[in-house]
């Protein structure tokens, strides 16, 4: 009996904590139901110790109604079931039940007796401490109504006789299979002025399925080292569980829980939690079969799940000691570690991992697991420009892993940065210089040295170092200045890149900047000239300055202020220009100037003044024509400038048989009367050339027209 009381006192803890947490939302009375083929069992209980005490005397009224869809439970027509109201048994009824009970079911009888004693309001206080082997913290509260209430409900859950004796369990046989019912229960209150609090439950009368809770997937299993643990979610269908285990492949099972196990909740916690159980002292890699039975409010244990679990080796080997990580060659980092193989008899081998951060993600760099006898590794794929951290993992035959502490490797950097590339360089008119550099991309890049010289053959001097400042910034735009009034026309720059290990790159390509020329070139000189009736020919000597790139001939009409450029000479071998864009009889001034490669212009040369000849030439005529096969004649057509229409013009017609023959004047005609002319040819002649010339009354002539070739 002491053992039973201990179990009950233990089980009450979870109930009390749950009741205290949920007291604000508990109904006055709660009810659940279970259907069998020929009857329906109802289980219910009052929501507080006071109501429970009252119900022990007044009893419970239980009524039944047929379920009707879309009609609220409150509006259904109820009739009391047989035996209602149901009250706690009196002593005679308790004794009769004890006499008829199965004496082999001691647990049922003891719990019923315990429930009878707890619910007897007339019983005297006992001097026997029923909890002397239980939780000592409950001694002073053994007569407390909360404790009696709690123990009575637990006894009713575990014993059918206790539930029936406390009037907390009723069976209704006035039902039919397949019909759906609604039951309601309330405490029997004789006063009709008090509104009764009902509890409702809906149920259909069907054959009871003892495995309706069975679901193997509801259990989550964790296979540990020499142990198995599992859990499953809580449910309103059950409140405790027992576990059975089979060590012989599922042939025979033995209960391994000494009593139903409840789930404890912290005071005030209202959320859901899982049931859990752990089975230890097992043999690794042996199959164990388990059955979980859950305890319901109907004083029975139903199967929840069946599953197999196998304990496994989960103990990792001792962690390796990573003794050193050394940069032994430009492309080699050597790792050396220690591990006593005697301390790890199931050691399989090692993995080597690397990361760029001490607490970052470590990636596997050893392609295959290293043999258990290996204690060193060469890494050839490390980041030469970054940071490298290493760990070594020990792996046993079960796949368990232990890891060394991270170790950082200090790299011996002997690789210089890439050769700098100068993307642009300019010098302005006052000697300010801007050099732009394409940024180096090395992770350990520190900056540049800027070197300058006045000649490619001279030694270059360092004028600036663009190493990163205290904020980690570097610059890729370099500023400098130089004097323009010097004997050297050019200035030269090159760059050298450095990394943080002071490795030095090869120099960049040398860039040449030409200084702005402040001395203008020597002026060219006009040396001679000649005049024709249609042009002026100017002869000159080009500028003697080496940097002169252009000699410019200027002309202006006398009386005008500005010269116009008439010829740009970019070729020093040219020393003459024929100016045809003149007007006869006008007076012109000619002068010259030079331009150097810096854009500077020389002084204006000494000018010459000349007057062009009056041009008495008549405008040149145009001759066209052809051969007429019908008339066997050559026809010529004359086109004369209309400005000559007011003058007396004659047309001289010339012809020759070939280029070896002389031109012969065959005819002279008046221009105002003759606009064309016909000439007969002999059959022997195959070609003939013609030209014409104009002559006026003052014997002024035009130039000859273009030659017209006639072919027969």
Tokens read off for 266: 């912290």
Helix, strand or coil, per DSSP, at residue 1:
coil
What share of the chain has pLDDT > 90, as a percent?
A: 58
Across residues 57-80, what is the average pLDDT? 94
Please name the CATH architecture into which domain 321-408 falls: Sandwich (2.60)
DSSP 702: B
> Which residues share a beta bridge with 452?
461, 493
pLDDT at 16 over 60: no
With cut-offs at 50, 70 and 90, classify the pLDDT of residue 391.
very high
Provide the CATH number for the domain formed by 421-514 in this structure.
Answer: 2.60.40.10
13 phi and psi angles, rounded to 5 deg:
-60, -50
Report the phi/psi class of residue 585: left, alpha or beta, with left for phi > 0 and alpha for psi in -120 to 50.
left
451 phi and psi angles, rounded to 5 deg:
-115, 145
pLDDT digits (tens, 9 = 90+) for 278-322: 999 999 999 999 999 999 999 999 999 999 999 999 999 999 999
pLDDT digits (tens, 9 = 90+) for 316-359: 999 999 999 999 998 999 999 999 878 889 999 999 999 999 99
- Find, among 438, 442, 445, the residue nearest to 421 by Cα: 438
pLDDT, residue 7, reads 37
Domain 622-711 adopts which CATH fold? Answer: Immunoglobulin-like (2.60.40)
> What are the residues whose beta carbons fall under 8 Å from the beta carbon of 409, sequence distance 6 or more?
325, 326, 327, 333, 382, 388, 389, 390
Across residues 693-707, what is the average pLDDT? 89
pLDDT, residue 14, reads 36
Tokens read off for 245: 């285990």
Q: Which residue has the tokens 């009052």?
A: 46
With cut-offs at 50, 70 and 90, classify the pLDDT of residue 193.
low
pLDDT at 486 over 90: no
Across residues 121-150, what is the average pLDDT? 54
- The listed range with the strongest mean pLDDT (249-263, 288-302, 460-474) is 288-302
Determine the Cα–Cα distance for residues 541 and 400; give it in Å rounded to an integer.
97
Model pTM above 0.95:
no
pLDDT digits (tens, 9 = 90+) for 93-132: 999 988 888 888 778 888 888 888 877 766 544 444 444 5
pLDDT, residue 400, reads 94
First to last CA, the chain: 153
Which CATH superfamily groups domain 216-309? Immunoglobulins (2.60.40.10)
Across residues 80-84, what is the average pLDDT? 93
Beta strands in 397-439 (DSSP E): 401-403, 407-408, 421-427, 432-438
Q: Which of 9-18, 82-91, 479-488 has the lowest mean pLDDT?
A: 9-18
Determine the Cα–Cα distance for residues 590 and 563; give it in Å rounded to an integer.
8
Determine the Cα–Cα distance for residues 528 and 547; give it in Å rounded to an integer.
25
pLDDT at 6 over 50: no
Helix, strand or coil, per DSSP, at residue 218:
helix
CATH 2.60.40.10 in the chain: give the residue spans: 2-204, 216-309, 321-408, 421-514, 525-611, 622-711
What rounded mean pLDDT belongs to the chain?
86
pLDDT, residue 62, reads 96
Across residues 56-62, what is the average pLDDT? 91
Q: Which of 48-62, 114-128, 408-422, 570-584 has the lowest mean pLDDT?
A: 114-128
Across residues 78-92, what is the average pLDDT? 93
Across residues 413-435, what is the average pLDDT? 90
Q: Which of 369-383, 461-475, 483-497 has the lowest mean pLDDT?
A: 461-475
> What are the residues whose beta carbons fall under 8 Å from the beta carbon of 104, sequence distance 6 or more?
none
Across residues 421-425, what is the average pLDDT? 93
Tokens read off for 440: 């180096």
pLDDT, residue 470, reads 54
What share of the chain has pLDDT > 70, as a percent?
A: 90
Question: By the 8 A CB rule, do 76 and 65 touch?
Answer: yes
With cut-offs at 50, 70 and 90, classify the pLDDT of residue 473.
low
pLDDT at 227 over 90: yes
pLDDT, residue 143, reads 54
With cut-offs at 50, 70 and 90, classify the pLDDT of residue 26.
low
Across residues 217-227, what is the average pLDDT? 94
Q: Which of 43-57, 227-241, 343-357 has the lowest mean pLDDT?
A: 43-57
Tokens read off for 181: 């019912």
pLDDT, residue 8, reads 38
| CATH assignment of 525-611, among 3.40.50.300, 1.20.1740.10, 2.40.50.140, 2.60.40.10 | 2.60.40.10
Question: Three-state SS string across 324-368, please?
Answer: EEEEEECCEEEEEEECCHHHCCCEEEEEEEEECCCCCCCEECCCC
Question: By the 8 A CB rule, do 555 and 590 touch?
Answer: yes
pLDDT at 699 over 80: yes
Determine the Cα–Cα distance for residues 423 and 598; give it in Å rounded to an integer.
23
pLDDT digits (tens, 9 = 90+) for 541-575: 999 988 899 999 999 999 898 999 999 999 999 99
Question: By the 8 A CB rule, do 549 and 596 touch?
Answer: yes
pLDDT, residue 22, reads 40
Provide the CATH number for the domain formed by 2-204 in this structure.
Answer: 2.60.40.10
């Amino acid at each position: 009996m002491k053992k039973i009381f201990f179990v009950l006192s233990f089980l009450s803890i979870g109930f009390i904590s749950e009741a205290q947490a949920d007291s604000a939302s508990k109904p006055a009375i709660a009810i659940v139901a279970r259907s069998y083929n020929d009857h329906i069992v109802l289980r219910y209980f009052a929501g507080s110790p006071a109501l429970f005490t009252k119900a022990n005397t007044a009893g419970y009224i239980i009524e039944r109604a047929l379920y009707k869809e879309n009609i609220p439970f409150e509006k259904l027509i109820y009739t009391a079931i047989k035996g209602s109201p149901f009250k706690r048994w009196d002593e005679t009824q308790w004794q009769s039940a004890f006499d008829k009970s199965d004496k082999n079911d001691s647990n049922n009888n003891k719990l019923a007796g315990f429930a009878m004693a707890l619910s007897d309001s007339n019983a005297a206080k006992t001097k026997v401490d029923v909890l002397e082997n239980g939780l000592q913290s409950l001694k002073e509260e053994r007569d407390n109504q909360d404790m009696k209430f709690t123990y009575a409900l637990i006894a009713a859950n575990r014993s059918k006789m206790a539930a029936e004796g406390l009037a907390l369990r009723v069976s209704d046989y006035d039902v039919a299979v397949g019909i759906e019912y609604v039951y309601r229960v309330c405490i029997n209150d004789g006063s009709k002025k008090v509104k009764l609090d009902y509890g409702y439950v809906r149920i259909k009368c069907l054959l009871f399925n003892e495995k309706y809770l069975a679901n193997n997937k509801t259990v989550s299993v964790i296979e540990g080292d020499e142990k198995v643990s599992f859990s499953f979610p809580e449910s309103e269908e059950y409140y405790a569980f027992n576990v059975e285990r089979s060590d012989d492949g599922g042939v025979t099972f033995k209960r391994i829980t000494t009593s139903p196990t409840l789930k404890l909740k912290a005071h005030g916690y209202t959320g859901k939690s899982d049931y859990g159980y752990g089975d230890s002292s097992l043999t690794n890699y042996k199959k164990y079969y388990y059955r979980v039975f859950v305890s319901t409010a109907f004083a029975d244990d139903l199967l929840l799940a069946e599953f197999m679990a196998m304990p496994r080796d989960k103990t990792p080997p001792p962690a390796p000691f990573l003794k050193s990580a050394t940069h032994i060659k430009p492309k080699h980092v050597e790792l050396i570690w220690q591990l006593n193989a005697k301390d790890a008899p199931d050691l399989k081998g090692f993995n080597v991992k690397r990361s760029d951060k001490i607490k970052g993600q470590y990636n596997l760099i050893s392609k295959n697991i290293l043999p258990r006898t290996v204690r060193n590794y060469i890494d050839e794929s490390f980041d030469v420009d970054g940071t490298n951290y290493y760990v070594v993992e020990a792996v046993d035959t079960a796949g368990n892993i232990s890891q060394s502490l991270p170790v950082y490797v200090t790299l011996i950097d002997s690789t210089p940065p890439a050769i700098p590339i100068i993307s642009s360089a300019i010098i302005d008119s006052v000697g300010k210089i801007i050099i732009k550099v394409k940024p180096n991309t090395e992770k350990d890049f520190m900056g540049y040295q800027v070197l300058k010289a006045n000649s490619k053959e001279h030694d270059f001097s360092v004028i600036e170092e663009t190493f990163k400042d205290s904020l980690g910034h570097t610059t890729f735009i370099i500023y400098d200045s130089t004097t323009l009034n010097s004997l050297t026309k050019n200035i030269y720059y090159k760059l050298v890149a450095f990394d943080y290990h002071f490795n030095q790159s090869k120099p960049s390509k040398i860039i040449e900047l030409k200084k702005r020329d402040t001395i203008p070139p020597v002026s060219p000189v006009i040396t001679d000239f000649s005049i024709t009736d249609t042009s002026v020919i100017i002869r000159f000597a080009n500028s003697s300055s080496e940097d002169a790139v252009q000699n410019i001939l200027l002309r202006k009409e006398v009386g005008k202020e500005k010269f116009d450029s008439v010829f740009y000479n970019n070729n020093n071998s040219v020393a003459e220009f024929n100016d045809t864009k003149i007007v006869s009889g006008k007076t012109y001034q000619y002068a010259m100037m030079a331009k150097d490669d810096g854009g500077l212009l020389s002084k204006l040369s000494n000018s010459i003044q000349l007057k062009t000849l009056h041009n008495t030439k008549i405008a040149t005529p145009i001759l066209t024509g052809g051969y007429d096969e019908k008339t066997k004649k050559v026809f010529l057509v004359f086109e004369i400038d209309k400005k000559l229409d007011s003058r007396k013009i004659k047309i001289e017609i010339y012809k020759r048989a070939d280029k070896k023959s002389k031109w012969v004047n065959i005819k002279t005609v008046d221009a105002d009367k003759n606009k064309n002319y016909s000439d007969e040819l002999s059959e022997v002649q195959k070609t003939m050339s013609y030209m014409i010339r104009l002559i006026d009354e003052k014997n002024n002539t035009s130039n000859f027209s273009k030659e017209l070739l006639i072919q027969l």
